[in-house]
């Protein structure tokens, strides 16, 4: 099972993901696609307002900490919504905990 923790604290964002969607390469790929997309946004944002504090992308372990303006917030929201949609369909393969400060 993949366990995801996502947090928004003002303009600071955190996403941690641990584990694999064992038994479903498709679900694992979907989760990875969303996480790599948000990491790519943070890495390639050109407006100068998005800063990554920590980025680790390893098999079965993702840690992203970043801050930014409205674009970063929108990208974060998209990632969380996408992960929550996967969780709604495959609750035995992914668990998403979201917290907003």
Q: How does pLDDT run across 2-51, given as a tens digit for each residue?
A: 999 999 999 999 999 999 998 899 999 999 999 999 999 998 887 777 88
CATH number at residue 34: 3.30.70.1490
Q: What is the CA radius of gyration of the chain?
A: 13
pLDDT for res 5? 98
Total residues belonging to the chain: 101
Give the domain range for residue 7. 2-100
Q: Which residues of 87-99 are buried (b: 16+ CB within 10 A; e: fewer)?
A: beebeebbebeee
* Calpha distance 33→31 (Å, rounded): 5
pLDDT for res 41? 92
Two tokens, residue 75: 């990208």
- The domain total for the chain is 1
Q: How does pLDDT run across 66-100, given as a tens digit for each residue?
A: 999 888 999 999 999 999 999 999 999 999 999 99
pLDDT for res 76? 97
């Amino acid at each position: 099972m993949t366990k995801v923790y996502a947090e928004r604290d003002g303009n600071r964002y955190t996403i941690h993901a641990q584990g694999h969607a064992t038994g479903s390469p498709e679900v694992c790929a979907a989760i990875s696609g969303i996480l790599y997309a948000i990491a790519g946004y943070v890495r390639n944002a050109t407006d100068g307002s998005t800063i990554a504090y920590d980025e680790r992308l390893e098999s079965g372990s993702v840690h992203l900490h970043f801050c930014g303006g409205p674009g970063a917030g929108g990208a974060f929201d998209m990632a969380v919504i996408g992960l929550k949609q996967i969780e709604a369909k495959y609750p035995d393969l992914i668990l998403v905990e979201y917290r907003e400060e």
